[in-house]
Structure 1
Amino acid sequence: MHILHLDSAITGDASVSRQLTADIVARLKDANPGATVTYRDLNEGVPAIDTDWFVGVRVGTENPTPEQKAHLDASNAYLKEVQDADVLVIGLPIYNFTLTAQLKNWLDQIARAGVSFRYTAEGPEGLLTGKRAYIAYAAAGTPIGSEIDFASDYIRHMLGFLGITDVTFVPADGLAMDREAGMARARAALEKIAA
């Protein structure tokens, strides 16, 4: 088993989502002693897509500029990490009712027509199949699945669009109102992983 471990919280050691992703990875490694891990902290920076990215990555060109080549190399690196993984463990801290900009940038980098998904006569088909994802959802005041949660359905949809349909959430929500209850929900979800 190879695990891709992704964090994106801006709060450093105080981050609940970082704590949860570490706990998920530890449980997976306990259940699979030979498991390997690739770690990426998206908070260190994931370039947003722009016109140079579009030309260099999506359109392609015979004579790319250095900037366009850098975009292609970075996008390929993000995508290869996903392709090589059996399991993704993704930290999903909620800021302003949705996912972090860094995590959105990462999704934009790996969502590539003809590479991670393709269009068919029956509609889009994800090409990153055969993988599982565990999502560490952490929110001070946005209950998971509520009408003000614009993150959990989105990330489930995006992963499914890319072919990753086996998605499990480990939610620690309502932390600002009742931290103990929110963490208890997360611990209960953790107990089911690799059980």
Structure 2
Amino acid sequence: MTHILRIDASARRAGSVSRDLTDQIITQMGAATVTTRDLATGIPLLEEAWIGANFTPADQRTPEQAATLALSDTLVAEIKAADTLVIGVPIYNFGVPAALKAWVDQVARAGVTFQYSETGPKGLLEGKRAVLVIASGGTESGSDIDFATNYMRHVLGFIGITAIDVVTADRLMVDADAAMKTAQDQIGALAA
């Protein structure tokens, strides 16, 4: 059975290209289970209490520290339960939306989703697939001014997810028809 974790990072619910394309991908994949995490509802930023709780060994955390990490634990559990992540990534001001960066901060945890070794960091969430749905008004995906696509590839690889497909609907304000045709072609080429 396929379990997809859908992550929507667009602040727009209606008229969002990344959400619409994500819908299409999930329909095409025909997953048995889809868990949705809508980041537009808000993800807390890291603060001092979170850092302190995260770096306290789990068996020594106070009830307050455990409560501070509860959302992070839930977000990590969602990734662990999924076979595939489908992440809608609109490019805002050349990078990822702040809510998506906050999600990354909540899930990139030493000893939980990655660990350090003599040879460097090693991701602990191997054997999963990710599909990034990149949408932008003017930024060309993969260009020198696209700080979102490679960032997301790197972050996912850092936590062990290296099988990554990218669907792009970029430069929508320049040529929407061409951008959407490219995205449709890429969706059609995705193996379920």
TM-score, reference length from structure 1: 0.93
Aligned-partner Cα distance in 2 for 1:58–1:15: 37
For 1:161, the equivalent position in structure 2 comes to 158
Q: 1:81 aligns with which of 75, 78, 83?
A: 78
Q: 2:120 aligns with which of 106, 119, 123?
A: 123
For 1:13, the equivalent position in structure 2 comes to 14
How far has the Cα of 1:155 moved from its partner? 0.4
Pick closer, same or farther for the CA change 1:63–1:185 going to 2, 3 Å.
closer
Aligned-partner Cα distance in 2 for 1:70–1:20: 35
SS in 1 for 2:36: strand
For 2:37, the equivalent position in structure 1 comes to 40
Amino acid aligned to 1:192 = A
Amino acid aligned to 1:108 = D
Aligned-partner Cα distance in 2 for 1:11–1:38: 19
For 1:3, the equivalent position in structure 2 comes to 4
Percent of aligned pairs with the same residue? 46
Aligned-partner Cα distance in 2 for 1:75–1:55: 14
Aligned-partner Cα distance in 2 for 1:16–1:95: 13
SS in 2 for 1:52: helix
Amino acid aligned to 2:20 = Q
Q: Does 1:72 align with 2:73?
A: no
For structure 1, list consecutive stretches of 5 or more residues without a partner in the other structure.
Answer: none
Q: Is the 8 A contact 2:53 2:61 kept in 1?
A: no
Aligned-partner Cα distance in 1 for 2:68–2:24: 33
User: What is the CA RMSD across the aligned residues, in angstroms?
Assistant: 1.4
How many positions carry a matched residue from both structures? 190
How far has the Cα of 1:13 moved from its partner? 1.1
Aligned-partner Cα distance in 2 for 1:63–1:15: 41
TM-score, reference length from structure 2: 0.95
Aligned-partner Cα distance in 1 for 2:55–2:69: 9
Q: Is the 8 A contact 1:141 1:173 kept in 2?
A: yes
For 1:97, the equivalent position in structure 2 comes to 94
For 2:186, the equivalent position in structure 1 comes to 189
Q: Is the 8 A contact 1:58 1:112 kept in 2?
A: no
Q: 1:113 aligns with which of 102, 107, 110?
A: 110
- The one-character-per-residue Cα deviations of 1:11-34 (angstroms, maximum 9, x if unpaired) are 2111000001111111111xx5xx
